[in-house]
Amino acid sequence: MARGLTRRCVNCGHGGAFDNYFRLRERCPTCGYRPAADEGFFLGVWVVNFAVSEGLLFVALMAYVIAMGASGGDVPLLPVLGTGLLVAVGAPIAFYPFAAGAWAAIELVMDPARRRP
């Protein structure tokens, strides 16, 4: 999992698993491992990314609820909506390569037969 979260090949650990920030290579340049070989790989990436984004939105909402309770209901709504919008749009974009790496690691753990030396 650590290899995936650091955007490295989950099989061999070498860098270069991504062409750029958003594009996962078809094969690892070192060991030839194909992280997105199975149909539906990116659905798993989407689910991981969605879960993290929703978790961050939940934390932001709970911070607002706690602030409302602590101040007696005197918290302006506009900054909270702006923060929520920023998290809802920015978190999936920022976390995408880490979600792809994490899902590649999860798939490798679930199907170790795909591992290559």
For residue 66, what are the domain limits?
Answer: 2-114
From first to last of its 117 residues, what are the pLDDT tens digits of the chain?
A: 888 888 888 888 888 888 888 888 888 888 888 888 888 899 999 999 999 999 999 999 999 999 999 988 888 889 889 999 999 999 999 999 999 999 999 988 888 777 765
pLDDT at 111: 82
Number of domains in the chain: 1
* Residue 91: partners with Cβ closer than 8 Å, 6 or more residues away: 52, 53, 56, 57
Q: What pTM did the predictor assign? A: 0.81
- DSSP secondary structure string for all residues of 42-63: HHHHHHHHHHHHHHHHHHHHHH
Distance from C-alpha of 98 to C-alpha of 91, rounded to nearest angstrom: 11
